[in-house]
Amino acid sequence: MNNATRLLVISLAFILSGCAYSPKQVEASRPLVNQAASTDLQAMAANLQQPLSTLPQGATLSANGTTFILGQRYVSALGQECIELQRNRNDNHPQRGVTCKKGDDWYLMPQLEQASISNLLAVQ
């Protein structure tokens, strides 16, 4: 009985000490999404609106000197239907991007801010 009481007291102390601990609060030194870019969405060309809703993955579309290859379709965390895109412009520098449907129209989504790994390391 004496050992059982000690075990109960030690277990209770561990449980209470875990509840009393609060983790260190961390603040970001820079935003992940550029706020200026996130409010000004660029609508996809009018001739791409309907094909984006119907064409399958791997299909190719062209508009205004840019070729788009449709990637995987998914639902974003905001509940929007989205498609991964590979964009090839006339300068042959492919870029990855995303288009999401808001209402009845498709919009190019702003890219996340790019940072070097050294900027992402936590400083204590």
Q: Give the pLDDT mean for 3-26.
A: 78
Which range marks the domain in which residue 64 is found? 35-108
What is the DSSP code string of 28-95?
Answer: -SS-SS-HHHHHSPEEPPHHHHHHHHHPPTT-EEEETTEEEEEEEEEE-TTS-EEEEEEEE-TT---E
Cα 98 to Cα 72: distance, rounded to the nearest angstrom: 10
**Among 7-16, 31-40, 67-76, 107-116, where is mean pLDDT lowest?**
31-40
Q: Is residue 3 part of a domain?
A: no
> Is 118 within the bounds of a domain?
no
Structural domain contains residue 71:
yes
Band (pLDDT 50/70/90 cuts) for residue 37 is very low
Is residue 103 included in any domain, yes or no? yes
pLDDT tens column, 88-117: 876 667 788 899 999 999 998 877 655 555
Considering the domain boundaries, does residue 80 fall inside one? yes
Whether residue 62 is contained in a domain is answered as yes
Q: Would you say residue 43 lies in a domain?
A: yes
Position 89 in a domain = yes
CB half-sphere exposure, 98, CA atoms < 13 A: 16
What percentage of the chain reaches a pLDDT higher than 70? 75
Q: How confident is the model at residue 71 (pLDDT cuts 50, 70, 90)?
A: very high
pLDDT for the residue 115: 53
- Percent of the chain, pLDDT > 90? 27
Structural domain total, the chain? 1
Average pLDDT over residues 76-89: 89
- Mapped onto helix, strand or coil, the DSSP state of residue 17 is helix
Q: pTM, whole model, 2 decimals?
A: 0.59
User: 9 or 82: which carries more pLDDT confidence?
Assistant: 82
d(CA 70, CA 80): 16
